[in-house]
Amino acid sequence: MSLSFYEVSVGSYLRTLRAVGNILNRAEHHAAESDLDLEALVRYRLRDDMLPFSFQVISVWHHSMGTIRAMKAGLFEPPPRMSGMTFEKCKALIAEAISELESVSKEEINALADNPMVFRMGEREMPFTTNAFLTSFSIPNFYFHSATTYDVLRIHGVPLGKMDFLGALKVGA
């Protein structure tokens, strides 16, 4: 059996988006029982030269929902700057991505396979096919920022394990 373009993109995104939503909820519960300041967490950086927690969540949102939108439009650009990010806004972005991706059909997404698209960053444009963009750029970035979101929560004492990151596994024959 081969994987469909839908399963590689939307199916993968939804599993991890739901896991990220769950770990954000776990962080909220942990904060209620500890001295974790969720608003300070939003600004936290693993290193001074890294972008803050809020950007990690924005990137999870952008490399899932934003990628599907971009493949439809044929153009992907860096995520928008979002000022005034709060922990609640982080949760809302993940919920928005889940809701939007749950609404797209398999047929609609499968029809996007191998279409041309462009990644534009400032004046630079890089041509891709949707397949190449998805597998060589979007999915790796999506998992990088999802893992970094998890890592920031772990470093702040949120009790999480690998299964929290993996989310619902697709088991069975």
Q: Are the C-beta atoms of 47 and 110 separated by less than 8 Å?
A: no
The pLDDT value recorded for residue 173 is: 62
pTM given for the model: 0.94
Taking 90 as the threshold, does the pLDDT of residue 169 lie above it? no
Buried b (16+ CB within 10 A) or exposed e, 62-85: bbbbbbbebbbeeebeeeeeeeeb
Q: Is residue 65 part of a domain?
A: yes
Q: Are the C-beta atoms of 149 and 53 separated by less than 8 Å?
A: yes
Report residue 167's pLDDT band, with 50, 70 and 90 as the boundaries.
confident
43-77 tens-digit pLDDT: 999 999 999 999 999 999 999 999 999 999 999 99
Q: Is residue 24 part of a domain?
A: yes
Q: Is residue 172 part of a domain?
A: no
Tokens read off for 3: 């994987």
Q: Is residue 29 part of a domain?
A: yes
- Count of the separate structural domains present in the chain: 1
Q: Is residue 26 part of a domain?
A: yes
Q: Is residue 39 part of a domain?
A: yes
Q: Is residue 171 part of a domain?
A: no
CATH at residue 113: 1.20.120.450
Alpha carbon separation from 25 to 16, 20, 88, 107 (Å, rounded): 14, 9, 10, 32
The pLDDT value recorded for residue 2 is: 86
Is 7 exposed, middle or buried, given 0-12, 13-18 or 19+ CB atoms closer than 10 A?
middle
Q: Is residue 173 part of a domain?
A: no
73-125 tens-digit pLDDT: 999 999 988 889 999 999 999 999 999 999 999 999 999 999 999 999 999 99
Taking 80 as the threshold, does the pLDDT of residue 172 lie above it? no
Sign of CA dihedral 164, 165, 168, 169: negative
9-34 tens-digit pLDDT: 999 999 999 999 999 999 999 999 99
Strand pairing class (116-121; 124-129): antiparallel
Taking 80 as the threshold, does the pLDDT of residue 1 lie above it? no
136-159 tens-digit pLDDT: 999 999 999 999 999 999 999 999
Q: The domain containing residue 19 runs over which residues?
A: 5-166
Instruction: Report which secondary-structure segment, H or E, holds 12.
Output: helix 12-32
